[in-house]
Amino acid sequence: YSIIAFTLLISLSNFAQEKKITWKNIIENNDESWFATEEAKNIAENVLLYQRDIGGWPKNTEIQNELSEKEKQALKLLKSDPNGCTIDNGATCQELLFLSKIYKSNPDERYKTAFIKGVIYLITAQYKNGGWPQFYPIKKGYYTHITYNDNAMVNVLKVLKEVKNKSDFYSISVPGEITKMAEESFSKGIDCILKTQYKQNGILTAWCAQHDNETLEPAKARPYELPSLSGKESAKIVLLLMSIENPSKEVITAVNSAVSWFEKIKINGIKIETISTGKNDEKDKIVVESPVAPPLWARFMELNDNKPFFCDRDGVKKYSMAEIGQERRTGYAWYTNEPKEVLKKYDDWKASLN
C-alpha cells in the first residue's frame, strides 16, 4: 500500500467509532471501500438485528454503536413486536439505503431478504387513500395523520420510485411482483399528494406538514405544530413531483401552483442570527434586517392568508419569532430556505415538458 492508501484505510477503520460519527453520517457515506470493511459488516449485523419481523425499523437509533450480549438478546426478543416501526426521522428508508450499499460490496442474501422485507413493509403501511401514517402499526394520536412532516412520506415515495423504475440506485433487485406493487403504491401516493394540496380561496397553494387521514384536511400535530401551510415540507413534495417522468396534467398544475405560491410568499430582507445570551454557552435566535440576504420562507403560515406564525408549547399563535420563548426559538426551525431548490430547477423542468 502507498502511504496515502494506508492512511485512508486507517481512517475508514475508525469511521464509525468516532464519537461524532452518527448513523446519518454512515448512511450518507458514499465510499464503497468502507462498505467492504469488517466494521461495515459488523454494523450490518446490527441493522439486521434491529429490523422487526414486520420489516420496519424504529427511529432515532444509533445503529452503529456496539451492542452488548444483553442488548442483542433484548433486540432478538423484540423481533416479533411490530410496535415502534416508523418512517419518521428517516427510519426504515435509511436502513434500506445502508443494506443496498453494503450488498454491493458483500452480496449476502440476508441483506437482500431484509431489504425486500423493508420495501414490503413500506407498501403495507400505506393507507387506502395513498398516504402514510408516521408509525405502522398505527400509533394512536397525531401519528395517524398523513405525514409529510420532516419529509417522511416523500422519503418513502423516493424509495418506491427507484424500485418501480428498476433503477440502479439500489444495488438490490426485487421480484417482479414487488416492482408492480411499488408502482401501484407510488401512483396512489402521488394521487394523495394531489388530493391534499390546499386550496386557498379556490387557488391551489401547498401542503400542511400533516393532513387528517380521513378528511385529508390540514391537521394539528404537536401543540406548536398547528394546521398551516408549510414552507419547508412543501418544497420536497414539489421536488418529488418535478422528478416524475411524463407528468400528468394534474401533476404539472400542482407544481405550477406551488411555485407561484412560493414566489408569492417568500420573505426578503431578513436573516436569522444565532447570538449569545451571556449566560454560559446559552444561545438565542433573532431575526435581523438584511437587504442583501437571500429569500426565506416561514415554516408555518395561516391557511387563509399565508401570514407566518410561531408557537410555544402552549399552542398559542404569535406573529413574530421574538414573541415566543427562547426554548422554542432555538429548538425549532421556524424559517427555511428549502424552496430555493424548487425555484432553481423550475425553469429547466418547465422547458423539459415541451
If one counts every other C-beta atom within 10 angstroms of the C-beta of residue 106, the result is 15
C-alpha angle 46/79/119, rounded to 5°? Answer: 75
Which residues, at least 6 apart from 279, have a Cβ–Cβ distance to it below 8 Å? Answer: none
User: Strand pairing of 210-211 and 203-204?
Assistant: unpaired
**CA 20: distance to chain centroid?**
22
Could you confirm whether 213 is annotated as catalytic?
Answer: no
222 assigned to active site: yes
Which stretches does DSSP call E strand in the chain? 146-147, 199-200, 203-204, 210-211, 229-230, 270-276, 283-289, 297-298, 300-301, 310-311, 317-318, 335-336
Query: Among 46, 89, 151, 155, which one carries the catalytic annotation?
Result: 89
- Amino acid letter for position 26: I
Q: In 65-175, which residue ranges form alpha helices assigned H by DSSP?
A: 69-78, 93-105, 109-124, 152-164
Rounded to a whole number, what is the distance in angstroms from the first to the last CA of the chain?
53
Type and span of the H or E element at 324:
none
Backbone angles phi, psi at 271, to 5 degrees: -145, 160
Between the alpha carbon of residue 226 and those of residues 11, 265, 300, 307, the distances in Å are: 45, 19, 8, 13
Beta bridge mates, 203? 200
- Identified catalytic residue from 222, 256, 306, 337: 222
Cα(340)–Cα(299) distance, integer angstroms: 14
Name the grid cell of 218.
Answer: 390540514
Point out the residues that are catalytic.
89, 222
